[in-house]
Structure 1
Amino acid sequence: MKDEKGYAVLRLSMCGNNCRVVMDFQKGVLWYEKFAPGPKIVKEEAVGWMRQLVEMAFCVCMSREESGRFLFNPYGVLLGADRNLYLLDMEDENNESCKKKGQRKKIKEKFECTGEREVQTMFAAGRMIQCMMAQSDIYPSIHWREKQYIKKIVVLCGRKEDLEKKKKSIERNVHCLGRKRKPVPAVLWGILCLSLCIGGGGWYAIKHVKEEGQKKHSIIEKSIVGKMMDDSYMEQGKKYFLEFGDYEESKQCFGRVEDEHEKAKHYIILAEYMSGQEKEEKAKEALKSLEAEDKGDLLCMLRVYEKIGDMEDCEEMIDLAKRCCIHEYEKDIYFNEKREFEVKSILCRMYEMTGQKKEADLCYEEMSRLKLDEEQRQQYYTQWAKALMQRNDWKKSDEVCQKGIEKVPGSDELKRLRVQAMCMFPDNSREKLLGVLSAYIAQNPNLIKDEEIKKIAAQYQLKMEGGKIWAGK
């Protein structure tokens, strides 16, 4: 996490009906700084922060501390280096500037309402959840059912009713966030039907089976919950690495499980290398030690190899890219059409670098079947055209540029490349080149200022002025 500073914070925990408050010191960034630029956040982490905000709000409501010690708005909450949320201790003189900012009129208008401390605190928690949803890009996107739960939580936070009643309703909705719905086992349906046939005694049987099932589930859950948390942080780290290119956040996630996961230590080195904090030799050592267990591993390794850009690694990169594309990606949490485009773009470059021209052309043809946005289409046709020009295949390069311009009419880069290809293709006449340039300049007069276009015009004795082009002597 960038620009971390140390702050005096309060740790809150419930003990019966009372809230225990313990002073602590944590490094991190303030909540408003985190969300000011509209960050990209992994869904699991966003849901976790929503839960923590609600839990902290209930603790503040149950606390016997003076209200002046808490400031429940974006200027009074810290996102710690451990990825958890903390309340700043407003009695600490070093937090005075945060207190002044958080008590400004425009902040109070957004995060305060009339009523007692309990009402104000819960209202502020709901508003902060709203801000997080509005100002951040959450991946994967929040499901419509989960959005309904979040709306209910925000509405409940704003209601002026009994705290205990409100708490139960909010906790019920918070519990549903991020939860995967499981199908009811056929055995239980059978027991239910049987009990209905038997009569009253059947209901006791159902209750007994349910209690036994809950006990077994509790035992299993406790035994695997640690592993699930570790896997969750590894998954979040890979998503920050791949989806957002946020290597600082990725490093923080891997850092939380480096003692339990040997692989996490290698990923920390890779994240540091990608953010310019680690040397290439260290990154290569980490890559050699890292065993790919899923497509997330393959994609991360491929991206690091590409940045290193060593010719010796071309065959290794081709192998990684092929392994990424072997299986269908519909069921994979890391591999989608966006990632497939990235992988095949790298694969094409590696084929070109190793002289495998037929394989490169086949790969480019396969990429044409992907659903690409405008930026990806321009990148695709530009990369293919440049590769063909490096092979001196001017005719095919001209054809690829024409296809690209049809798909992306506003691409000056493709128009520039096509004009360059036409100049190198001997069958193209000066008149044809003039006609093509005239059409492109009519679409975008600023092309006259392009240095490459100026050179070509001078070479063919073409005159350009006032948004027009014509043949000189």
Structure 2
Amino acid sequence: MAYEQGYDVLRLIEHSESCYVSSKYVRGRTLIRYIREEKEIEKEQLFAWMRKMAGTLACVHKCRGAPCYQYVNPYSMIIAEDEELYFLDLKAASNQEMLIRMQKRTIREHFLPEEEAYYQRASVTLDLYGLARTYQYLLAETEVLPDLNKKEILKLEKIISRCLNRQSKKACQSAQEIKRMIPSYKNEEEKERSKGKYFRKWLYIAAAVVVIILGRSIFAGNSHSTNSYSEKSHAINSGNDVKAAETKTGIDEKEAAAYTAGKKETAEQMQTTEMELGSLYFLKLEDYEKSRQHFEAACAGTKKTDKESGIAAGMAAVSACLAEKTLPEEELKQALEQTALLLEEKEDAIYYRCVLKGYTCLDAKEQREELLRLGIQYRALGEKEGQEEVTQWMAMAYEQNGKKSDAAKMYEELLAVEGKRAEREELYRKVTELFLADKKNDDAMRRIREGVTEYPDSVELQVLKLRVTCKEKEKNRRACRKALERAVKNRTDIQKNEDFRKLLQEQGFQMKGEKVCEKE
């Protein structure tokens, strides 16, 4: 495939313990675009790219001054025409537009920890965090061919966990360490050769054991008629053999116990991974069929507690309902209620969010009340992740249930953290209209004034402020008319606004030039 776009990327040259950086130009596409367009990836290619990502970061970290890359995410990686992976040269003028794009909140919140809201600080641990999030995104958004086996899933889950839990004693300390941990890929032919080598190795060992046993038998036959001293010596040796056998049995029992414990731990790790993948597909990707599969897989083994098993079973049922073309509302309601009964601790936070999202699909007032009850419980946990999403759901539920002031307060919380202009304008409008509908004109005026002060060029907010002004001065039409005339004088283009014309009609006014007059 020929690519229209070219990029300046890093060209890294390793020499002994040092690394030198230069730049080169390649034609290709960003990793994020590749993932969205291709959807499938060969397992060999996946591991190669993962290893290349870690290797590139390791090289960057070895450069003079120990710099960090800082913007580690799928937007900063380029897949060239030859399928090679490169990192963007962020110092190149040609990549400044992409650099600005990566600073958007929608990108930052996925590839930075919550306590690091912006790409302001640079550190090795933040680079590794971004790398782990990129691995997660790559695994979640693509279908790996052939499928990853359980051993590979566990290895990758271990890498991701050790990078994301930065405060853990087992946290990864370097990109080189991650590179060494990436699974190696073997095709079927290589596997067969490995099996052959393994078989031949144990065949040789077995032959050697047979020779030793035969030798002992011959030796025993030849020494049958020895003197009493030899018999005594044999008795002592036999006693030692018994003790050795007892010791060996003890070791075997310990090994068996350790093996069983390790197997149990591996099963629990697999189930934890399945639960995490189920939540990811449910919350982020909204692929409810895959979510169901992972939650059901989590139920298949022995879970650490009945509670976790119950949550997995409940979420599998919820996912199954949402995967149906025609939503079975009664079954969904029952599955959500049963799962909600098990939620009580901070560790359950992600499942609170899953259940809350499930309730957003039900339209009855009672279910919205249940959503609000669970939302209040979730907020009390003090969990930062997902707070904005939950606040949005609660605001909508309050609004739909007619609790306008409560809804307005929720939207005000969103306004306090929202950074985009379009969303902020919409929130100013929403909060003002809700206060106005609840006859809280003072609160409405307070909020719309803030909006107009922040965005003085917004015609929509100006018109809404006029609406609140006229609402306040319902008994004083002259004051309302004067406010409308001042607005027209300050900006003539306001007359073209549909909401402004509608406001004039509602108030019984009409325009004559730049004058607001009583409607004839």
**TM-score normalised over the length of structure 1:** 0.50
Match of 2:361 in 1: 307
Match of 1:390 in 2: 437
| Native 8 Å contact 1:344 1:363 kept in 2 | yes
Give the superposition deviation at 1:413.
Answer: 4.7
Give the superposition deviation at 1:290.
Answer: 1.4
Match of 1:434 in 2: 485
| Native 8 Å contact 2:466 2:483 kept in 1 | no
Q: Distance in 2 between matches of 1:298 and 1:109?
A: 42
Q: Distance in 2 between matches of 1:399 and 1:258?
A: 52
Selected match of 1:420 from 467, 488, 504: 467
| Native 8 Å contact 1:302 1:317 kept in 2 | yes
Give the superposition deviation at 1:306.
Answer: 2.7
Deviation string 1:232-253 (CA, Å, 9 cap, x unpaired) is 2222332343345454554454
Q: Distance in 2 between matches of 1:369 and 1:256?
A: 40
Give the superposition deviation at 1:271.
Answer: 3.9
- The answer to whether structure 1 residue 288 and structure 2 residue 337 are counterparts is yes
With over 3 angstroms needed to count, the CA separation of the structure-2 counterparts of 1:55 and 1:394, relative to structure 1, is: closer
Deviation string 1:65-123 (CA, Å, 9 cap, x unpaired) is xxxxxxxxxxxxxxxxxxxxxxxxxxxxxxxxxxxxxxxxxxx9813xxxxxxxxxxxx
Match of 1:378 in 2: 425
Give the superposition deviation at 1:141.
Answer: 1.9
With over 3 angstroms needed to count, the CA separation of the structure-2 counterparts of 1:410 and 1:174, relative to structure 1, is: farther
Q: Distance in 1 between matches of 2:314 and 2:279?
A: 12
Match of 2:111 in 1: 141
Give the superposition deviation at 1:372.
Answer: 4.7
- Residue pairs, 1:95-114, within 5 angstroms: 110-111=81-82
- Residue 290 of structure 1: SS of its match in structure 2? helix
- Residue 358 of structure 2: SS of its match in structure 1? helix
Match of 1:36 in 2: 36
Q: Distance in 2 between matches of 1:256 and 1:34?
A: 29
Q: Distance in 2 between matches of 1:464 and 1:174?
A: 71
State the one-letter code of the partner of 2:329.
E
| Native 8 Å contact 1:146 1:177 kept in 2 | no
| Native 8 Å contact 1:448 1:454 kept in 2 | yes
Give the superposition deviation at 1:325.
Answer: 0.8
Give the superposition deviation at 1:219.
Answer: 6.2
Selected match of 1:233 from 263, 274, 283: 274
- Residue pairs, 1:42-57, within 5 angstroms: 53-54=46-47
What is the percentage of aligned positions where both structures have the same residue? Answer: 18
Match of 2:152 in 1: none
Q: Distance in 1 between matches of 2:375 and 2:317?
A: 21
Deviation string 1:255-308 (CA, Å, 9 cap, x unpaired) is 544545554454345345556623222221221221353122222222232332
- Residue pairs, 1:183-262, within 5 angstroms: 183=169, 220-247=261-288, 250-251=291-292, 253-254=294-295, 256-257=297-298, 259-260=300-301, 261=309
Higher CA-based Rg: 2
- Residue 308 of structure 1: SS of its match in structure 2? coil
Give the superposition deviation at 1:430.
Answer: 0.4
Give the superposition deviation at 1:321.
Answer: 1.0
Give the superposition deviation at 1:50.
Answer: 7.0
With over 3 angstroms needed to count, the CA separation of the structure-2 counterparts of 1:147 and 1:462, relative to structure 1, is: same
| Native 8 Å contact 1:50 1:129 kept in 2 | no
Match of 1:83 in 2: none
With over 3 angstroms needed to count, the CA separation of the structure-2 counterparts of 1:146 and 1:361, relative to structure 1, is: closer
Q: Distance in 2 between matches of 1:255 and 1:129?
A: 38
Give the superposition deviation at 1:221.
Answer: 4.2
With over 3 angstroms needed to count, the CA separation of the structure-2 counterparts of 1:149 and 1:367, relative to structure 1, is: closer
Match of 2:511 in 1: 463
Match of 1:178 in 2: 160
| Native 8 Å contact 1:241 1:247 kept in 2 | yes
- The answer to whether structure 1 residue 403 and structure 2 residue 450 are counterparts is yes
State the one-letter code of the partner of 2:378.
C
Q: Aligned pairs, how many?
A: 308
- Residue 463 of structure 1: SS of its match in structure 2? strand
Deviation string 1:421-459 (CA, Å, 9 cap, x unpaired) is 3333325420112323554x55xx4x6454332222345
With over 3 angstroms needed to count, the CA separation of the structure-2 counterparts of 1:345 and 1:399, relative to structure 1, is: same
Segments of 5+ residues of structure 1 without an aligned counterpart are 1-30, 40-45, 59-107, 112-123, 152-172, 185-213, 330-334
Segments of 5+ residues of structure 2 without an aligned counterpart are 1-30, 52-78, 89-97, 113-125, 135-154, 171-254, 302-308
- Residue 222 of structure 1: SS of its match in structure 2? helix
- Residue 471 of structure 1: SS of its match in structure 2? strand
- The answer to whether structure 1 residue 316 and structure 2 residue 363 are counterparts is no
**TM-score normalised over the length of structure 2:** 0.46
With over 3 angstroms needed to count, the CA separation of the structure-2 counterparts of 1:424 and 1:286, relative to structure 1, is: same
Coordinate RMSD, CA, aligned:
5.0
State the one-letter code of the partner of 2:377.
R
Q: Distance in 1 between matches of 2:459 and 2:257?
A: 65
Give the superposition deviation at 1:217.
Answer: 8.4
With over 3 angstroms needed to count, the CA separation of the structure-2 counterparts of 1:455 and 1:175, relative to structure 1, is: closer
- Residue pairs, 1:14-33, within 5 angstroms: none
State the one-letter code of the partner of 2:81.
K
With over 3 angstroms needed to count, the CA separation of the structure-2 counterparts of 1:53 and 1:269, relative to structure 1, is: same
With over 3 angstroms needed to count, the CA separation of the structure-2 counterparts of 1:364 and 1:150, relative to structure 1, is: closer
Q: Distance in 1 between matches of 2:376 and 2:413?
A: 13
Q: Distance in 1 between matches of 2:49 and 2:412?
A: 55
Q: Distance in 2 between matches of 1:351 and 1:32?
A: 37
| Native 8 Å contact 2:432 2:447 kept in 1 | yes
Give the superposition deviation at 1:322.
Answer: 0.7
| Native 8 Å contact 2:315 2:335 kept in 1 | yes
